[in-house]
Amino acid sequence: MSNNKNKKNSNTQVNIRNKRATFDYEILDTYTAGLVLTGTEVKSLRAGKAGLTDTFCIFDKGELWVKNAYIAEYFYGTYNNHNSHRDRKLLLSKKELRNLANDSKEPGLTIVPLRLFFNEKGLAKMDIALCKGKKQFDKRNTIKEEEGRRELDRAKKHFF
């Protein structure tokens, strides 16, 4: 009997989102990047103890880094435990890094993490996006559209 059938698939359960990103920014382009993590960070992520609020990405010496991402310290960790808000390196191809670096130099554009998850191979991945900040009236329009969509869903649910 194969061990693969007996393993439980906990990889798809971890899905940490940055809910403010879609409200505050207009998403222009998205990328999926790998993360350089320590062992205790992976264990905390698998437990779902992370957050992406107020997180952003910057370039430093040609490498892309995610700043201010919160991954809680592992409860059972010892002196080897990680710092919860440390900078983490993102892994992308050279072509993607070059494109992102050139695009992010334009005024008003920034790189924001959208989602932190484990792929089917069990590797930690982060969806990042090249974004443009929304103005106040754009945010109001987004709220109106969401409320209209909710009203329609309620009407459909009640009707059927």
Q: What string of DSSP letters covers 56-77?
A: EEEEETTEEEEES-EEPPPTT-
Confidence of residue 23 (pLDDT cuts 50, 70, 90): confident
- Measured CA to CA, the distance from residue 127 to residue 123 in angstroms comes to 13
Give me the residue label for tokens 């940055």: 18
pLDDT at 80: 75
- For CA atoms 153, 155, 157, 160, give the dihedral sign: negative
What is the pTM assigned to this prediction? 0.72
pLDDT at 8: 47
What are the residues whose beta carbons fall under 8 Å from the beta carbon of 35, sequence distance 6 or more? 66, 88, 89, 90, 91, 116, 124, 125, 126
Asked if residue 63 lies in contact with residue 27, where contact means CB atoms within 8 angstroms, the answer is: no
Confidence of residue 10 (pLDDT cuts 50, 70, 90): very low
Topology of domain 7-134 in CATH is Small Protein B; Chain: A; (2.40.280)
The model's pLDDT over 104-156, given as tens digits with 9 standing for 90+, comes to 888 889 899 999 999 899 899 999 999 988 777 777 888 888 888 898 888 88
What are the residues whose beta carbons fall under 8 Å from the beta carbon of 123, sequence distance 6 or more? 34
Asked if residue 115 lies in contact with residue 103, where contact means CB atoms within 8 angstroms, the answer is: no
Angle at 87 between CA 83 and CA 88, to 5 degrees: 105
| Average pLDDT score over residue span 63-88 | 83
Angle at 125 between CA 119 and CA 130, to 5 degrees: 130
Q: Where are the domains positioned within the chain?
A: 7-134
Q: What integer best gives the mean pLDDT of the chain?
A: 83
